Structure 1
């Protein structure tokens, strides 16, 4: 058994992974019977008869962002759970810590866990989380096996002792010449700094502004006329997708879960309670703008991720009449908002819209759908034929507002 005081835990762990050797948690230094990690006191590293035992609480050279050295048990736990998601990993770590009591495992954050797994798999020798070896010893030192060349020599010696002959020299030569993968630091940095200043001259002709008729753009038009290839390669500007805002209220009949089926398929179904997507897209052909290609509309429930220019793309806002919906809008006053954007209220047939919706003004379209009934009930499906009629009335109002605001086949309004 090798001494645990002369063996670096991280290098031993990495070499065991490289040679596909077993790493077994045991209940004592003399045992070879595998036990659960919560009951283990040591880890046994075995490779073709060589047995190395290390305590699970021995500290490694991996240092967390808090400045603490991570123990071997936490390294082993992170490695065996490398393929599960972060929430699953955190839940497993909490369960193990409950079983261990004191001295639980360290829960690696995402970046730490990613760097550790990559380093153990041999993706690179440099990482900010691993302290260098004392005395300047290299990561591939001979204590635990340095590189594939050294490993093949050890395999050859073991083969001779076992009377099984030599390893194929050609195979050993291939392993010796194998290129090791680098991490981001070694890949992005060469042997010397590179001067890219000459790229500016090449990029000047491609970054020239288009002529707009102003006197200050005379030089730009000259550059374009001198380079006819630029005029041939100019692509038409892409029209941004219009945006429809849905109400985030739980009482809204139209939510992210059922909006696509209603606005595209023309059939109303009640919203479900599953986790909705943050954004969906629906398509609609507007013949006055582009009769050959459908226009994609982006549907979201709130403007939390909006940039200022996104408000010029909003073509409709669905509302339930609750004023808190507009607190984070560009126009927090509903009356002012619906002067710029088409409003839509969707309610049940036979019920009057709330007084607040009627107070918003005529720019809010009030629509009603038949009350939802279980499809298993007699005649339930017969009442749903009116849904498409309601959908068409909504799209008609949205399209009229888009034409009034200046939406075109290849352009969106710069201000609404």
Structure 2
């Protein structure tokens, strides 16, 4: 039976064969995102093979097979850090293989391991017999040997026991002939790996925790590596936490520029400084300034903090401006982040506090409920409740400022 594309790829990679990426016109390319096929081996080799990168493989992520392109892309990053690999996956819009699965796959592709727990056994049974089948054969042989050696003691006992054992199970036979072995087998436990060791009354899938760790831990590592490279090149780093020089500068709050937003540059100062909400349609705009300052004294920070509030990023001429962004107000539309350094909600709200202000009674969109943002409701008519809303916002932001190093 012919081998699958995944096992064919493994045979070549394990042998150190070269490979060439080809696009749909069979033209050599260096970009795997545009590649359609892979040519394994060179002209000097006799075992050349051409595989389609869009074929599904036996390697499973959350029980779903991944295509060969994802496997080869992971191999091309075998010497890269987890942060660099994740960043390239996001750039090329390719499926990201988690850290544990990636290590398991690399060991299997290089030949260090002959099996992988993430590869479906239904498609590779023809390549190698399963360990369970081998163990079962060995167990049956051992039991047969035990039974044979025991029954061979006397001719009379062999004849009698054969008639009695014909209707007994293997465990019952062992119990009758070797009580010590039977007692040992009663306390036997099946060995489990780290994935199956978390047991309970119901099967629980903990795979979502891997993605959470990647978003929080790997992004932090990515920020650290960016910080080191930034210092070596002599420019401001894009680390996860602001530097001391940035902390001394005024933090920035980004708000929407859409006129449909309930908080705009027209009413934000009155709202945050005086805890009073005024409908922006009731305010006559006398200036087209894109920046407003708001000052706030916190209980856990020794000095008053002056915030710069802007509704666009046109003035962000240096990378350090993004390190100073501490909060982002959103209307729930993803296009708001198109010109941001982190232009997806998933990345943006891992770096900055997100806030979704809305009127009580209005339905919060389903996609906003999945974002990592604080949803804050305003009363449409009772303005005395604005004080509690603003107090909650400042208290929430203060915790973030202390974590960032403001004191």
TM-score past 0.5 threshold: no
Question: Normalized against structure 1, the TM-score is what?
Answer: 0.37
Higher normalized helix content (fraction of residues): 2
Bigger Rg over Cα: 1
Question: Normalized against structure 2, the TM-score is what?
Answer: 0.37
